[in-house]
Amino acid sequence: MKNVFLLFSIILMVFACNSSKETAAAKNEDIEIKKGDTIKISGDNIEYDVIIIEPGFGTYLSSIAKPKGFYTQNYLETRNIRYIQEWNRRVLQPRQYNTNLYEMQINYSQGVNYGYDVNYKMYNYFVYFQNRYKQNLLGTRVPQN
């Protein structure tokens, strides 16, 4: 079974552990990570694990995001590939982009079937991230969901 851990946070990304930066960032914004702020996608039939740690994302996913089934898997995969390519480009340009937002690259391979649930939650994380941190990963209008 392949395990790909994608950790999303203000300062956490792929294969990362908690760091002192997370605590510092949380203190600076008076953010507390509460139950429901960590979203995990896993199961017996899923070959990939995605863990999203982001204050407020659980609430966003359950109350604001479009429901599962609204988008096709192909749409989500296409958008995620574009988001991840831009994300990884920004990681490689630390002088131009905030390293607290873009700390580590995301390992996502085009052509691998990660399944609907993984793509759905990743897509919604990118929408949430762009709106929360006023970023624009694709150079177009950020979906408000």
Structure confidence at residue 47 as a pLDDT band (50, 70, 90): low
- Euclidean distance between CA atoms 109 and 39, whole angstroms: 21
Question: Is residue 2 one of the residues assigned to a domain?
Answer: no
Question: Is residue 28 one of the residues assigned to a domain?
Answer: yes
Amino acid 54: pLDDT: 84
Number of Cβ within a 10 Å radius of residue 116: 15
Of 121, 106, 134, 14, residue with least CA distance to 60: 121
8 forms beta bridges with 52
Question: Is residue 144 one of the residues assigned to a domain?
Answer: no
Amino acid 36: pLDDT: 54
Read off the pLDDT of each residue in 27-46 and give the average, rounded to a whole number. Answer: 49
Largest CA distance in the chain: 41
Question: Is residue 119 one of the residues assigned to a domain?
Answer: yes
Tokens of 95: 């002088």
Q: What total of structural domains would you count in the chain? A: 1
Structure confidence at residue 139 as a pLDDT band (50, 70, 90): confident
Question: Is residue 139 one of the residues assigned to a domain?
Answer: no
Amino acid 26: pLDDT: 38
User: Is 68:76 a contact under the CB 8 Å cutoff?
Assistant: no
> Could you tell me which residues come within 8 angstroms of residue 141 by beta carbon, excluding any fewer than 6 positions away?
none
Amino acid 25: pLDDT: 39
Question: Is residue 53 one of the residues assigned to a domain?
Answer: yes
> Could you tell me which residues come within 8 angstroms of residue 88 by beta carbon, excluding any fewer than 6 positions away?
105, 106
Question: Is residue 67 one of the residues assigned to a domain?
Answer: yes
- The residue range of the domain holding 28 is 7-133
Phi, psi of 52 (to 5 degrees): -115, 115
Question: Is residue 38 one of the residues assigned to a domain?
Answer: yes
